[in-house]
């Protein structure tokens, strides 16, 4: 399997973070989702969300993860290909709530003077997806 993450130095101000989100609905029940992120520093976070679709959960994962890194840091964020393309502005975001969250991501990047790039990682190679599946109730 090709590794699309590239190599990242272990500089104290450089982070490699993988994010993932899953969503589901039970018949007639509310939409549920969860997100997770994992950094190369063995920091991780998982959160379950009620009445939140997976598109919103993906952006919440990025916002939460970026909020944990040092000001001025270089951050390599890895997610699924569609999400990475949306974050880079290569693919339009049609849903208003998701578009607002993308603006929040870029505002946070600017405010914290972060140097961020967004790349793709497949599910099978994404440690955040593994964390989601390990604790899944579905």
Domain 14-134 listed as CATH 1.20.1370.20: no
Angle at 51 between CA 48 and CA 52, to 5 degrees: 70
9: closest CA among 40, 45, 44, 38? Answer: 40
- pLDDT tens, residue by residue, 25-53: 666 666 789 999 999 887 899 999 988 98
At residue 9, the pLDDT reads: 43
Q: What is the pLDDT of residue 1?
A: 30
Residue 4, pLDDT above cutoff 70? no
Query: Taking the complete model, does pTM exceed 0.75, yes or no?
Result: yes
pLDDT digits (tens, 9 = 90+) for 53-97: 899 999 999 999 999 999 999 999 999 999 999 999 999 998 999
Give, in order, the Cα–Cα distances in Å from 40 to each of 20, 90, 91. Answer: 15, 26, 28
Interval 104-133: pLDDT, tens:
999 999 999 999 999 999 999 999 999 988
Q: Where does the pLDDT of residue 134 fall: very low under 50, low under 70, confident under 90, or very high at 90 and above?
A: confident
- Non-local (6+) Cβ contacts of 73 within 8 A are 13, 14, 15, 114, 115
């Amino acid at each position: 399997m090709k590794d699309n993450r590239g190599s990242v130095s272990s500089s104290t101000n450089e982070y490699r973070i993988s994010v993932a989100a899953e969503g589901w609905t039970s018949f007639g029940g509310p939409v549920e989702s969860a997100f997770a992120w994992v950094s190369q520093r063995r920091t991780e976070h998982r959160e379950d969300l009620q009445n939140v679709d997976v598109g919103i959960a993906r952006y919440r994962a990025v916002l939460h993860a970026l909020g944990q890194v040092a000001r001025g840091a270089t951050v390599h964020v890895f997610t699924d290909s569609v999400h990475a393309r949306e974050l880079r502005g290569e693919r339009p975001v049609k849903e208003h709530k998701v578009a607002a969250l993308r603006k929040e991501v870029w505002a946070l990047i600017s405010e914290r003077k972060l140097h961020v790039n967004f790349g793709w990682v497949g599910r099978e190679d994404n440690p955040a997806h593994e964390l989601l599946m390990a604790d899944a109730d579905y």
